[in-house]
Every structure is written in structure tokens, then in C-alpha cells.
Structure 1
Amino acid sequence: MATSHILALFCATTGKNCEELGVDEEQIVLLVYLLYDVTNNKVVALQQHFVKPQPNEISETLLTEDCKTETGLEEEVIKNSQPLEHVLDEMDRFLSAKGVHPDHGGKSFTICADGQAHLRQCLHPECSKKNINLPKYMYKFYDLRKEFRKFYRTEATGIKSMLEHLGLKPDQSVEYGVHQCQEMASILHRMVTSGHSFGTAEMIKEHLEPGIW
């Protein structure tokens, strides 16, 4: 059955981001998600959450210079934010409020991310380390790059290349993570308008060896 809603999800870590996201196994400090109504082909709502990582015994600062340069995030904002478990609970409540939570009789929804790293290299490994139980909906997702390749039969190396192929302008939002989710929404809108159907989602196995998701 085709999904009625898609949750575009984006995260950033204290270390490497962009194409190197997850390679250094650093903690998540930003989680942004956008709910997209596939049936009516429109954005429902966007949420941005700063995430407080566990203290680092080696360094007094939470954010690396790489992170600050790439994301524009500020140390003080991250220090005063909520830990990952609280942010994920907030997301769960958001899904319930929007009528798409599977455990509360909601409409069907599936997470969508730009590539594999956000879920397989960041969210799942970190939650495993911190003994955070993830809901079932976190174990399936659409890789937007794969869906794009399948439909347009062209290479997709990231959000920028997909926008360029479609002739779409980059989003002008200032906040890192927000503009990526808005851009994913623009790509989703064009794909749905052009007739793409989001079918079977990719699965993430619950129990694998450390480092393999």
C-alpha cells in the first residue's frame, strides 16, 4: 500500500556533516523533520530541534570547529537544549498530533532521508549506544537518492544535484537543516506531480553486529 505521508528527516552531528556525516561516529546535535502529505501533495509542518549531546571528557566544548563552520550552530544553544531521547519523544508526540502515528490509528507515513547516513550511520547507532528504544516506524525509510534514480533514471549524489536536475532553486532558509528539509519537500512535490509512486520502503534490521545497520 502506498504511503499517504512522508517524514523528511535530517540530522547534524558534533563532528563531520554533509557527505561525511556519520563517518566519525559523533553525536547528533540537530534533528529537523518535515511532514509531507503525499495524497494532497503539500507540506503539513516542519519541526527543528537542537539536541544536547552527552558531555565529552576530553573536550570542554560540545561542537567541533568542523561542525560550527558547516552548520552555523552555536555552543550555548546546544548546551541548553534537550537530550536525544527527549527530542525523539517530542517527535513521537508530533506524529500523534498530526494524525499519522501508527500506534494511535493514524494514516500511513514513512521516513525519507537524503541518503543512508542519517538513519543507518547516525540515529540508529547512537540510540543503540544510549539504550534508547526506537519505535517501529524508525526501522523503514525511503532513500530519496534511490527513489530519484529509480524515477528519473539519472545519478543523484545529494539534494543539490537533484535540485539542479529538476531546475529548482535552493531554499533560502537561513537555518541549517531547515533548508535541506524544505528542499527535500520541493523534490518530493515535483516527483509526486510527475507521477512517482513511493512503494516498498527500505528496512533496517533491529539486531546486527555493532557498526552494521
Structure 2
Amino acid sequence: MNSKSAVFTLTKKLARDLGFMETVYASKSNKCKHPMLQPFKYLIVIDFESTCWEQNTDGKQPEIIEFPAVLLNLRTGMIEEEFHQYVLPVENPILSDFCVNFTGIEQEAVENGVPLKTCLSLFGSWIKEVSEKRRLVFHINQKGSSAENACTFVTWSDWDLSVCLHNECTRKQLYMPEILYQWTDLRAIYRKFYKRRPKGLRGALSELGLQFEGREHSGLCDARNTALLAWRMLQDGAVLTVTKGLKTKRQASKMPHLKTDI
């Protein structure tokens, strides 16, 4: 060791001993904080678009017209799989001008879509495929411990599953897959973790310095951006847990199989 190195080493040791030096650890932006605390290794983000009207004076009920889902790997932050299907509305088959402008979904797209019952069947087949490929286990067991490839569903607010899909399935006497009876409301976790109430998904992204990518109120774009937000929240130290569950005869975590014949 030369004289300069010896002096530098001695000075650094003295500064540390006197409390003048602080050790700073650089965080890696592509890793989530507290990975051992995360109960899930995968998320499936869902964001429906539905029929809507500027003034709904007749009490019309929303029907799903776009059904997207994206699979987010929480080890890498990458979206690995996507499901996307336009859905044919039958209660109010003609989209309002407001709906077309708001969602960007044209009448032709929904007319070429499939009924909700068929869409749920296709979605069930997709879930089965990605589950078998990655050995996914949905939700967590009753004791709270998580499986190696534990997965849950994520939405921005409870509206998609608790209101939109649940009510439409009830009205149309369709089977709502019990696997969708539990989910994580990312908006609720965002408000609690950051102690802020953002103005929508775009507002939440903006607050964290993120840019919304794509067209707002496109279901697939919204799902991708929600996944982006979830990944950033994990990097900041947020822990994603199941926040909502609907009453069901069987707990989704105990389901030995996924029902796809719907």
C-alpha cells in the first residue's frame, strides 16, 4: 500500500469512528423491496370497459364490452401473458356516442365480439393454460402462508369484479368463476401506503413520476398501466394482499380445479 492509500484509509477510518461518514446503500430500481413479505409471485390485472352513457336517465345497467387481463411476474416486473376479448352487449346492443368516445371501442368491435358467457369460458381456458405453464396457485391458504407461485387478481378499485361482473352475471344467470371472488384493490393499497388520494389511475402514475402509456380507458392499456403501477409500488415497499372477497360456498383458495365449462 502506498503512502497516499495509507493516508486515505486512515482518514476514512477516523471519519467513520467519529461519526462523520454515513454508509449509503444504493437501491436497485428493478427489484422490489421486502420480497419475502410479498404473499404473491404473480398478479393477473383486470380492467373491464363497459357500456356507458353521458346521462343514464333510464337506469340502464353496464355490460362488459372489453375483457382484458395481463399476467405480471413480480420477480422480474415483466408482463408475460395477456388475454383480450371484446364482448357483445345484449341488453343495450348499440353503443352510445359517449361510450365510443370514452373507450375508443367501435360498434363493429363489439358486434364481432362474443357473448359474456363465451368470454368467461375463453378466459377460463386462458387461466388454465397459464396456470399449468407456471404452476400458479391462486390466493393464499387459510394460515396465511403463500405458495411458491402464488397468484391473485388485481383491479384498480372494486368496481370491475364486485359491481360490474358480479351484477351482470347475476342478471344474466351466468356462472361467475369462484376464482374471481377474491382480489386486490390496488387503489385501496395505494391510498393507505402513500397516504394520498390520487385522481384516477393516471393521477396515481403521475404522482410517482410515471407516464401513462397508451390510450386511457382502453381496457388493455389500463390493465398494462395498472401492472406498471403495481410493480412501482412493490419497488417502493408496498405489500400487496387480498383486500376484497365476495361470499361464496367454497373459498377460492381451496379450489382443486378451475371451472372452464361456462
TM-score band, normalised by the shorter chain? Answer: 0.7 to 0.9
Q: CA deviation at 1:63?
A: 0.7
What CA distance in whole angstroms lies between the structure 1 residues aligned with 2:137 and 2:165? 19
* Deviation readout 1:5-40 (Å, 9 max, x if unpaired): 1111111112149xx9xx852211111111111233
Aligned residue among 41, 48, 59 for 1:4: 41
**Structure 2 counterpart of 1:73, one-letter code:** I
Corresponding residue for residue 44 of structure 1: 80
Segments of 4+ moved more than 3 angstroms: none
Superposed, which structure 2 residues align to 1:96-175 within 5 Å? 96-99=128-131, 100=136, 102=138, 107-172=149-214
TM-score (ref. length: structure 2): 0.68
Cα distance in structure 1, aligned partners of 2:120 and 2:53: 22
Q: CA deviation at 1:108?
A: 2.5
Determine which of 226, 231, 236 is the counterpart of 1:194.
236
Q: Which residue of 1 aligns with 2:258?
A: none
- Aligned runs of 1:20-99 on 2, under 5 Å? 24-54=60-90, 56=92, 62-99=94-131
* Aligned equivalent of 1:211: none
Distance 1:116 1:24 in 2: 20
Deviation at 1:121, TM superposition (A): 1.9
Give the match's secondary structure for 2:47.
strand
- Letter aligned with residue 192 of structure 2: K
C-alpha change, 1:150 and 1:128, in structure 2 (3 Å) is same
Percent identical across equivalent pairs? 22
Q: Closer, same or farther in 2 for the Cα pair 1:55/1:125, shift >3 Å?
A: closer
Which letter maps to 1:76? Answer: E
More strand by proportion, 1 or 2? 1
1:83 Cα deviation after fit? 0.6
SS at match of 2:82: strand
Distance in 2 (CA, whole Å) between partners of 1:151 and 1:26 is 31
Whole-angstrom CA distance in 1 between matches of 2:239 and 2:83 = 25
Structure exhibiting the larger radius of gyration computed from Cα positions: 2
TM-score norm. by structure 1 comes to 0.82
**Alignment match, 1:210:** none
TM-superposition CA deviations, 1:77-110 (whole Å, max 9, x none): 21121111111111111112112365xx994221
CA RMSD of aligned residues (A): 2.6
1:175 deviates by 8.2
Q: Secondary structure at the match of 2:125?
A: helix
Report the Cα offset of residue 115 of structure 1.
Answer: 1.0
Shift of 1:52: 0.7
Query: Any stretches of 5+ residues in structure 2 without a counterpart?
Result: 1-37, 139-146, 250-262
Contact residue 139 and residue 205 of structure 1 kept, 8 A: yes
